[in-house]
Chains A and B, each alone.
Chain A
Amino acid sequence: MAAAEDSRPFAGLSDVSISEDIPVEGDISVPVGSSRRDDELSTLDEPVKETILRDLRAVGKKFVHVLYPKRSSALLRDWDLWGPLLLCVTLALLLQGGAADSDNQGGPQFAEVFVIIWFGSIIITLNSKLLGGTISFFQSLCVLGYCIMPLTVAMAVCRLVLLGVTGSVGFAVRLAVVTVSFGWSTFASTAFLTDSQPPNRKALVVYPVFLFYFVISWMVLTFSPSQ
């Protein structure tokens, strides 16, 4: 842009010829590049609190996107894995302390939940890529991780319900809560994932997502605290 503005004053001299013994040499620097370098330096110098707050705000914004799943590309454009990690750890911690008799394995262990969530997400991502999806690996991991949020909320609600109401009424309430959040998770993730698939294969991508959230819902529903 600067070069164009500079050349306009010389527009009238376009027919003037330059003598051959004057060497024409030099560098042309594009000003846009240097300003970007300044930006990167400035994020390195900013206080840690600002960096953390900015990341937290980004994570919070994506949580809101999951709560109201509409076709927006915000979740896909700036993917991050902080949210999924937070949700995964919260869910695994909430699933701790299951009925732990001496013989019975009881609830799933922390590592089990972790492995299920991350390897399940990886397998679904690979599957959607193999079926011809245009979404990238980490974008898909990001979406699947964020859409576990309704199930984490359901887990917290179930634990509260188990503290108070027991018996078949409590079971019915928990079943309703878990079913609703399972449907919500599946719907939210398909709203983001199926856009990147060829239109006639959406069912093939949705089914593994359905299975994945079904397994997690099953773990949430069958959780029973130790006496």
Chain B
Amino acid sequence: MSAGSGNRNTEPWGSFDDNLIQGGSAVIDMENMDDTSGSSFEDMGEMHQRMKEEEEVTAEAAATEDDATDDGEFLGMKGLKGQLGRQVADEVWQAGKRQASRAFNLYANIDILRPYFDVEPVQVRSRLIESMIPVRMITFPQKIAGELYGPLMLVFTLVAILLHGMKTSGTVIREGTLMGTAIGTCFGYWLGVSSFIYFLAYLVNAQITMLQMLSLLGYGLFGHCVVLLVTYNIHFHFLFYVLWLLIGGLSTLRMVAALLSRTVGQTPRLLLCGTLSLLHMTFLLYLHFNYHKIVEGLLDSLEGPNMVPMQRVARDVPELTLNATWRNPEVLQVH
């Protein structure tokens, strides 16, 4: 009900406006995390910013009011005019500062990301293990943890493992650097494929948010890390294929089951889960074969002369080199 004056605080029972503007608190309502509006970052930022501004404005108004009454009485007429000029300049400065800090705080406020990093080590460990265990319940939406610490650390671990693989195989990168390529590949995959699958999910009306997709795919990279760590050091192709199917397959199944539980309809399910499985499994294949060409000279220098002959499998050598050795058979004698 509106009272006579426009002042918000005159209602004896506390007006609605009061609660709306000062309704935000330091505790962030996790219920809002699961909505599919996709604009939670900006919403939270705006709310936070409006709260701060209200406080600032009331604090400034109180401060300038006190100053004005004190100085005006004391200095007399001349004091009042000087006071007015000073007040105007002050207010212009404050307004400008508020504009700049509002823009800065909205986008550079790391407090927006704080709730996504609120995890315990035990939780991270259990989520890592769970990412390899597919859950068979697909009639009811499965719970997907919305955190970013685990996925981010897994992407960085993948970068480190990729670097290790590239270095030991003497990969030639023609444009760009080793580090740049590794970071670009891993982050590009995580962010790009998450966005693409989220876009497809949006098209087929699946119940998943961007944060959950990022988290799901990030934890799915745990399988990739394990497989690559093993196969960059033990160079058996057969072992790689077995691990690719087993571990890659398990982590893909986990992601697929989570998505299936949140999608309705046969064709959308097929589209979404087929795309994800294809991309995820192909990425592992790509990482193994593109960044780990076995170069004989480098292996010699790192692992010493006593190498198992099986390591130098003829089918790893590209056809070009084979032709070269046939043309110059004396090269074979040197090795």
Contact = CB atoms under 8 A, between A and B. Distances in A.
Contact of B167 (A130, A131, A208, A222): A222
Interface string B116-130: 011111001000000
B222 to A, nearest CB: 14
Contacts of B160: 211, 214-215, 218
B199 interface: no
A168 interface: yes
Interface string B77-96: 00000000000000000000
Q: Which 9 A-B pairs have the closest CB atoms?
A: A130-B117, A203-B121, A222-B167, A112-B177, A168-B304, A105-B173, A112-B179, A131-B117, A130-B114
Interface in B98-130: 110, 113-114, 117-121, 124
B304 A200 contact: no
A104 B178 CA distance: 11
A171 B118 CA distance: 42
Interface residues of B, number: 28
B121 A201 contact: yes
Nearest to A115: B179
16 contacts: A104-B170, A105-B173, A112-B179, A116-B179, A127-B149, A127-B152, A129-B110, A130-B110, A130-B113, A130-B117, A200-B120, A200-B121, A204-B121, A204-B149, A211-B153, A218-B163
B304 A127 contact: no
Given A130-B110, A214-B160, A215-B160, A208 B178 contact: no
A69 interface: no
Contacts of B170: 104
Main secondary structure of the interface of B (DSSP, over half): helix
Interface string B134-173: 0000000000000001001100110010011001001011
Interface residues of A, number: 27
A108 interface: yes
B302 A171 contact: yes
Interface in A107-129: 108-109, 112, 115-116, 126-127, 129
A103 interface: yes
Nearest to B152: A127
A211 B157 contact: yes
B178 A105 contact: yes
A15 B21 CA distance: 53
Interface of A: 103-105, 108-109, 112, 115-116, 126-127, 129-132, 168, 171, 200-201, 203-204, 207-208, 211, 214-215, 218, 222
Contacts, number: 58
A127 B119 CA distance: 12
A127 B174 CA distance: 33
Contacts of B153: 207-208, 211
Interface of B: 110, 113-114, 117-121, 124, 149, 152-153, 156-157, 160, 163-164, 167, 170, 172-174, 177-180, 302, 304
Q: Which of B114, B149, B172 has the most CB of A within 10 A?
A: B149
A218 B232 CA distance: 15
Nearest to A129: B110
A108 B302 contact: no
Contact of A108 (B149, B156, B178): B178
Nearest to A105: B173
Contact of A109 (B119, B177, B302): B177
Given A116-B179, A200-B120, 18 more contacts: A103-B174, A105-B178, A108-B178, A127-B117, A130-B113, A131-B117, A131-B149, A168-B304, A200-B121, A201-B120, A201-B121, A204-B119, A204-B121, A207-B153, A211-B153, A211-B156, A211-B160, A218-B160
Contacts of B156: 208, 211
Contacts of B174: 103
Nearest to B121: A203
A222 B166 CA distance: 11
Nearest to A203: B121
A215 B164 CA distance: 9
